[in-house]
Homo-oligomer: A and B are copies of this chain.
Amino acid sequence: MTDQLTAEAILPQEFPNLGPVALEGLHPALLDAKMDSMRVLSETAMAFPDALSFSSGAPYDGDYDLNQISRQIEQYFACSREAGVPEALLARRMFHYGPVNGFILAEIAQMLRVQEGIEVPEASIMVTNGFQEALLIALRGLFSSPDDVLLTVAPAYVGILGAARMLDIPYRGVLEGPEGICAENVLEVIRATRAEGKRPRALYLIPDFSNPSGTVIPLATRRRLLEIAEAEDLLILEDNPYGIFAPDGEQLPTFKALDTRQRVVFLGSFAKSAFPGARMGYLIADQILEYRGQSPRYLAQRLSLAKSMFSVGTSSLSQALIAGLLHERGYDLRKASEPSRDVYLERLKAALENLALHFPPSKWDQHGVGWNEPRGGFFIVLNLPFAVDLALMEHSAREYGVSWAPMNMFYPEGGGERQLRLGVSNLEPAKIAEGIARLARFITDHAARTGQEGKS
C-alpha cells in the first residue's frame, strides 16, 4: 500500500498547530540537501513512473522469482539438519535473539574463500543490516576523537558521507584520477590533515567500478596504497560490490585479498550479488586486539558491542535465506553472477554506443559532451557544457522523460557541477537507446537555452 515516501496526500488539510518539533532543532545532517539527495532521486522516480530512470544503481531484476524465498530459507534448514544441527537449536537460531554477530559466519567465510581467495577466521566476520550498517559500525568503533578524520575517495557514494555525518565524524575527500584514487593524492590529503593537527584514521574507497565514477584502481596502486596505510598508520575501509561483475580476465584481487598486515576492514554487501531486499551485508575485521590482560579478540568481536547497540542482531530470515542461496550457488556469487554480469556489460555497451551516436566524439567541439568508458560496473559519468543539479534533473524527468543523478551530490567538498551519472544496470538495451535519445534532447535543448552550447 505504501510504496511511496511522500505522503502529502495523507497529511491533514489543516494543521494549525505544527506540533512540538521544530525542523531547525533536528540534527543538521537531516536538513542537508546533499544528504537528502538520494530521497529526492527516488521520489522523482516514483513521481514520474513513465520517465526512463538512469538515476539509480538498482540491480538487474529480470530473474527474480517469489518462489525462491521459501525455497532458499528451507534450503538453509535442510543444510543445517544435514550438518547435524538439532531441531531445537535450529528453531532457537531462527526465532530467538541470536548471536549478535550472526549465525552464518561459516557460510560467509566459505564464500570468501571460494569466491575471493580471502582466508579469514569466522570470528573475524560480522553479519550486518546491509553494507550501510557495516560501514556505520566500523566508523563508530574506529573513530574515537573529534580529531580522527575519515578520508574518502571523491566522488563517493552518498552513503559514506551520510554515515560520517550521522556520527559527527569529520571527513575529507581525496580526488580520483581516471584510474581511481591515487597514491599521491592520498599522501597529500594525509599531509594536509596532519598539518591541521588532525589524525587521518581510515581511507574509504571502492576499488572496482566505483560508484559513481566507474573507475578501477590498478593492481600496482592497490599494493602502493597498502604500503601507505602501513607507513602512515591508516586503515583502509574497502567497499567492493561491483568487482564480481568484471569481464573475464579483468578481475583484480581485492585490497583484503592483498592485505598481509591487517590494514583493511572489508565492508561487504549482498545487495548487488544476491538479494537487495534482504538488506544483508557483513564486515571482515580480522585485526587482533589485546586489552588489559583479557583474552585477545578480533576487532569484529569487539565491534559486536556497537552492533548490539545499533540493532542487537540481523534478521534470522535474511541470514537463513542468504545461507540457502549461497549453498544453492556453490558459495561463489561471482560465478553465479556471470549471466547478470553479461547483462550489465551488454547494457554498458549499449549506453556507450548510444552516447556516441548522439554525441559523436568527432564533433565534441560542437556539443561539448564527453564521458568515460568503464570496463564494467553500473555507472557512466558524462561531462556537460553546463551545470546540473537536482532541480534540473526533476525538469529532465518531467519534461523529457529521463532521469539521472547530478555528480555534485557525490562530492564531499564541491566538484562535479558539470557532470551527471548514468546508472545503466536496470534498463534493457532498447530502453537505454530511448533513454539516451531523450537525454540528448534534454542536453541539446538546455545547452541552447543556457547559451552555453559547445566547449566551455
Q: Which residue of B lies closest to A92 (CB)?
A: B61
CB atoms of B310 and A166 under 8 A apart: yes
Q: Which residue of B lies closest to A313 (CB)?
A: B279
**Residue from B132, B263, B277, B287 in contact with A315 in the complex, judged by beta carbons closer than 8 Å:** B277
Q: Please indicate the chain B residues that have their CB under 8 angstroms from the CB of A302 in the complex.
A: 23, 26, 30
CB atoms of B39 and A316 under 8 A apart: no
CB atoms of B66 and A278 under 8 A apart: no
**Residue from B18, B24, B96 in contact with A276 in the complex, judged by beta carbons closer than 8 Å:** B96
**Residue from B24, B132, B262, B275 in contact with A312 in the complex, judged by beta carbons closer than 8 Å:** B132
A324 to chain B, nearest CB (A): 11
Cβ of A354 under 8 Å from chain B? no
Interface residues of A in 3-48 (CB under 8 A from B): 3-8, 10-11, 15, 17-31, 35-36, 38-39
CB atoms of B277 and A98 under 8 A apart: yes
Bound complex: CA A182 to CA B97 (Å)? 32
CB atoms of B97 and A277 under 8 A apart: yes
Cβ of A103 under 8 Å from chain B? yes
CB atoms of B263 and A20 under 8 A apart: yes
Cβ of A456 under 8 Å from chain B? no
Cβ of A366 under 8 Å from chain B? no
* Chain A 290-326: CB-based contact to B (< 8 A → 1; otherwise 0): 1100011111011111101111111111100100000
**Residue from B21, B31, B275, B296 in contact with A18 in the complex, judged by beta carbons closer than 8 Å:** B296
Bound complex: CA A167 to CA B189 (Å)? 27
Cβ of A357 under 8 Å from chain B? no
Q: How many residues of A contact B (CB 8 A)?
A: 123
A220 to chain B, nearest CB (A): 22
Bound complex: CA A123 to CA B11 (Å)? 8
CB atoms of A2 and B105 under 8 A apart: yes
**Residue from B132, B141, B316 in contact with A311 in the complex, judged by beta carbons closer than 8 Å:** B132
A60 to chain B, nearest CB (A): 11
CB atoms of B299 and A21 under 8 A apart: yes
Looking at the complex, which of A69-77, A378-386, A401-409, A443-451 is the stretch in contact with chain B?
A69-77
Cβ of A174 under 8 Å from chain B? no
Cβ of A237 under 8 Å from chain B? no
Cβ of A455 under 8 Å from chain B? no
Cβ of A192 under 8 Å from chain B? no
Looking at the complex, which of A157-165, A203-211, A333-341, A431-439 is the stretch in contact with chain B?
A157-165
Cβ of A140 under 8 Å from chain B? yes
Cβ of A51 under 8 Å from chain B? no
A409 to chain B, nearest CB (A): 13
CB atoms of A96 and B277 under 8 A apart: yes
CB atoms of B73 and A77 under 8 A apart: no
CB atoms of B318 and A7 under 8 A apart: no
Interface residues of A in 71-96 (CB under 8 A from B): 73-74, 77, 83, 87, 89-96
CB atoms of B3 and A262 under 8 A apart: no
CB atoms of A19 and B96 under 8 A apart: no
CB atoms of B35 and A309 under 8 A apart: yes
If A15-B296, A297-B7, A310-B310 touch, does A144 touch B279 (CB 8 Å cutoff)? no
If A95-B64, A100-B5, A159-B309 touch, does A142 touch B21 (CB 8 Å cutoff)? yes
Cβ of A273 under 8 Å from chain B? no
Q: Which residue of B lies closest to A166 (CB)?
A: B309
Cβ of A228 under 8 Å from chain B? no
A290 to chain B, nearest CB (A): 5
Bound complex: CA A94 to CA B54 (Å)? 22
**Residue from B95, B96, B121, B315 in contact with A11 in the complex, judged by beta carbons closer than 8 Å:** B121
If A26-B141, A29-B305, A99-B3 touch, does A279 touch B311 (CB 8 Å cutoff)? yes
If A95-B64, A96-B61, A106-B2 touch, does A278 touch B21 (CB 8 Å cutoff)? no
Q: Which residue of B lies closest to A265 (CB)?
A: B21
30 contacts between A and B (CB under 8 A): A2-B123, A3-B89, A6-B301, A7-B301, A11-B123, A11-B288, A11-B295, A11-B296, A15-B288, A15-B296, A19-B262, A20-B261, A20-B262, A27-B140, A30-B141, A36-B305, A61-B95, A64-B95, A65-B91, A66-B91, A69-B94, A129-B129, A136-B309, A162-B305, A165-B309, A277-B317, A279-B315, A279-B316, A315-B317, A315-B318
